[in-house]
Chain A
C-alpha cells in the first residue's frame, strides 16, 4: 500500500461550528448544512468551478460556431434530473459521439481537443474543490485517477446515447421500475468520485462507494435530486446558463461529497 491512502481519516481543516451544528441534525439537511458551512467559511471553494463554468461557456460558443454537429445539452422536457455522478453541472451544448466518427484528421484533432479541454476543466475543478474542502494536498496521481473516472463515465454516457440504447417506451409501471433502478444505482455510485480523490483505486473506490451508501439512501437521493434539478434549471438561464449551472452546481456537488464522505 502506498502513502496515497494514509490520510483517509484526515479531518478537514474547515470543520468548525457549521459542522458541529450539522452533526447534531441528520441526513440530507445535515449534509447540506455542512456543505454550506464549508462554503461560507472558505469562499475560495467557489473559484475552481467558476473558472470551469467560464471555460465551458467559451467551449459552448466555439461548438455552436464551428462546422460540426452539436446538440443541446439542456433537456427540453418539462422537468429533468441532470446528474452525472461526478461534479459537473450542465452545459448548453454537447458534441454527440456520432459526430466524431469518420471526421477528417484535422477536424478530428480539433474536435477531440475541444472535448478534452471541456473534460479537463470540469475534472480539474472537481479535483481542486474536493481536495481543498478535505484539506488534502494536491496530488497529481489522484487527479489522474479522477480524470480516468470522469472520462470513463462521460464516454459511457455518450456511448449509450450514440448506439441508441435507452429506455424508449413501455408501460408507466415498467418506466417507473427502470427509473427506480437507475436511481438506486446512482445512489450507490454517489461517493465514488470523492473516494477516488481520497486516494483509493478506481475499482476499489467503486466497491467502497457501493457499500458505504447503505443506510444513507434517502440522504443521497435527496442530494441527487437537488443537484440534478438545480443543474437542469440553472442551465435554462439565458446566455449564462452554462456558467451558472457548472459554477453553482459543480461546487455544491463537490463540497456535498466531502460533507457526506465524512459522515460515513
Chain B
C-alpha cells in the first residue's frame, strides 16, 4: 500500500502533468477564414497584389484607427489579415482587431518581414512564417501561452528555419524579403546567403535548397518569390530569373539578362511578369523566353508589379507610374510618381506608397490620381486592402484608413 508521502508525490506529479497538458491545449485566438484575408505580402503566392473581393477608399482617406501603444514596435513591412485579426511585424509581432485596432497580443522578437500564413496539419493554429536578419522563423498565429508583463509567450515561436543565427543590425527599414506560403510549404530566401529554401510549414524542416553562385561570397539579393501551378519563380541580382519545381527544387529553367537588374516576379496566366531596372518583361512560364519587353527608361532598384484584370501596374523607379497591357506590354496610362513602390489593387483602385511616405490612390481604369495622403510618421508600408479600408504599418504604429469626408 502506498504511503502518504508516495500518494502526495504521485498527486503532485499528476497535477503537474495535468496542468502542463491543460496549458498546452488552452484555446488560442485562431484566425477564421474570410474572403478579405490578405495572408501574405503581395496578397497571394503568385504575388499579384490584387484581391478581387476587397475594396478600399476611392476619393479620400482619413484615419479610422491608429494603434500606437506598443512602445517597442518599429516596422516597415506590410501587415497581413486573417479573419478579424491584423498581424503586423516590427521588432516583434502584433495581433490587432481589424475593426478597431485593439491589441490581441504582442510578441517581441527579431522579425522584420511581412508574415506569411502557412497551413498546418498538426496544429490547431496556423504558422506565420516571418523573416529577420537572423533567418526565418515559424510563429504561432494564436500567439502561444501568454507570459504576463513581458510581451512574450510560451510557444510564440514554433520552429526555426535553417541557418538560424543571431540577428544582424542594419539601417534598412525593411531589410528582408518576405516569405511566401503555398499549401503546406514556405518559400524564403535566407538573409545573408545566396540560397532560397522550401520549408515544411509544420516543422520548419528544409525540403529543398537552391544556391546561386556557390563560390561567390557576395549575396545575390533575391526578389520576392512567386508561386503558381507547381513552379516557383524568383528574380535575383544581378541578372537572373529562375524557375524551380515547387516539389523538389529541380531547376526548370534559368535566364540571364545582361545589363539589366532583375528585381521581382509576378506569376500570371499569361506568363511571368519580371520587373527590371529599366522596365518590365513578360516571360514564357515554360522556358523563360521573353514574350515581350518594355524599356521604360527607368532606374528602379526595388519594388514589385501588381497584376489585375489583364493590367500590370508598376513604377519606373524615377518619376512615372504605369499601367501596361499584360498581353502586349502596351501602355494604357501613366501618371507622375516618385521612386519605387509595391502597388496593390482592389475595387477599381490602385494604391501605391511614394517615397516611403505618401499614399497615392489612382483610378485603375484611367490613372487619375484620386487622393494623396501623408501620415505623421515615416516610413509608410505598402497597404493591404479590406472592406473599404487600407491597413498600413507606419513606423511605430499600425493604422487603418477609411473613406474620407
Q: Is B171 an interface residue (CB 8 A)?
A: no
Residues of B within 8 A of A164 (CB): 108-109, 152, 157
Residues of A within 8 A of B144 (CB): 98, 101-102
CB-CB under 8 A from A2, the residues of chain B are 3, 5
Chain B residues 85-138 with CB under 8 Å of chain A are 108-109, 121-125, 138
**Of A4, A69, A98, A102, which contacts B124 at CB under 8 A?**
A102
Interface 9-mer from B16-24, B228-236, B237-245: B16-24
Output the least CB separation between A110 and chain B (Å).
9
Which segment, of A17-25, A53-61, A139-147, faces chain B?
A139-147
For residue B109, which residues in chain A have a CB less than 8 angstroms away from its CB?
Answer: 164
The answer on a CB contact under 8 Å between B203 and A70 is yes
Say if the beta carbon of B154 comes within 8 Å of chain A: yes
Residues of A within 8 A of B13 (CB): 144, 147-148, 151
B160 at the interface (CB under 8 A from A): yes
Residues of B within 8 A of A173 (CB): none
How many Cβ-Cβ contacts under 8 Å join chain A to chain B? 108
Cα A23 to Cα B110 with chains together (Å): 53
By a CB distance below 8 angstroms, the chain B residues around A98 are: 140, 144, 154-159
B residues less than 8 Å from A41 (CB atoms): none
Q: How far is the CB of A73 from chain B (nearest CB, A)?
A: 13
Give Cα A69–Cα B122 distance, bound, in whole angstroms: 10
Would you call A102 and B155 a contact (CB within 8 A)?
Answer: yes
Are B202's CB and A69's CB within 8 A? yes
Interface on chain B toward A: helix, strand, loop, or mixed SS?
A: mixed
Q: When the two chains form the complex, which single residue of B3, B152, B159 contacts A99, counting CB atoms closer than 8 Å?
A: B159
- For residue B304, CB closer than 8 A to chain A, the reply is no
Complex: chain B residue closest to A63, CB-CB: B203
B383 an interface residue at 8 Å Cβ cutoff? Answer: no
Does residue B145 face the partner (Cβ distance < 8 Å to A)?
A: yes
With A67-B203, A98-B140, A145-B9 already in contact, the answer to whether A107 and B154 are too (CB < 8 A) is no
How far, in angstroms, from A213 to B28 measured CA to CA in the complex?
45
Residue A11, interface by CB 8 Å: no
Q: Which residues on A sit within 8 Å (CB–CB) of B1?
A: none
| A163-B159 contact given A103-B122, A144-B6, CB 8 Å threshold | no
In contact, A104 and B124 (Cβ under 8 angstroms): yes
Contact (Cβ within 8 A) A148 B9: yes
Beta-carbon contacts under 8 Å, A57-79 to B: 66-71
Residues of chain B lying within 8 A (CB to CB) of residue A101: 24, 140, 144-145, 154-155, 158
The interface residues of chain A lying within 8 Å CB-to-CB of B28 are 102
Cβ of B47 under 8 Å from chain A: no
Bound CA span A103–B150, Å: 24
Bound complex: CA A132 to CA B122 (Å): 43
> Which partner residue on chain B sits nearest A164 by CB separation?
B152
The answer, among A108, A141, A159, A163, for a CB contact under 8 Å with B6, is: A141
Interface centre among A66, A98, A100, A152, by most chain B C-beta atoms within 10 angstroms, is A98
- Count residues of B near A (Cβ-Cβ below 8 Å): 42
Closest to B200 in A: A67
Contact A105 B202 (CB under 8 A): no
Say if the beta carbon of B217 comes within 8 Å of chain A: no
Q: Could you tell me how many residues of chain A have their Cβ less than 8 Å away from some Cβ of chain B? A: 35
A130-166 near B? 1/0 per residue, CB < 8 Å: 0000000000110011011001100100010011110
Task: Considering the complex, give the chain A residue whose CB is closest to the CB of B123.
Answer: A102
Contact string against A for B residues 197-239, beta-carbon threshold 8 Å, 1 for contact and 0 otherwise: 0001011110000000000000000000000000000000000
Q: Does A184 sit at the interface, judged by CB under 8 A?
A: no
A112 within 8 A of B: yes
Q: In the assembly, what is the distance between CA of A48 and CA of B48, in Å?
A: 60
A100 touches B155 (CB 8 A): yes
Say whether A141 contacts B150, CB under 8 Å.
no
Cβ of B259 under 8 Å from chain A: no
**For residue B202, which residue of chain A has the nearest CB?**
A67
The chain B residue sitting closest to A97, CB to CB, is B154
A163 touching B147 in the complex, CB below 8 Å, given contacts A98-B140, A100-B155, A102-B124: yes
Q: Which residues of B contact A108 (CB under 8 A)?
A: 21, 24-25
The answer to whether A68 touches B21 (Cβ under 8 A) is no
Contacts A67-B202, A69-B202, A148-B9 given; does A112 touch B21 at CB 8 Å: yes
B152 proximity list for chain A (CB < 8 A): 163-165
The answer to whether A100 touches B24 (Cβ under 8 A) is: yes
How many angstroms between the C-alpha atoms of A140 and B10 in the bound complex?
11
Sample 9 A-B pairs with CB under 8 A, ordered by A number.
A2-B3, A96-B159, A98-B156, A99-B155, A102-B140, A102-B144, A105-B25, A107-B122, A148-B9
Can you list the 9 inter-chain pairs with the closest CB atoms, starting with the nearest? A101-B155, A69-B159, A98-B155, A107-B122, A144-B9, A163-B152, A162-B154, A102-B125, A141-B6
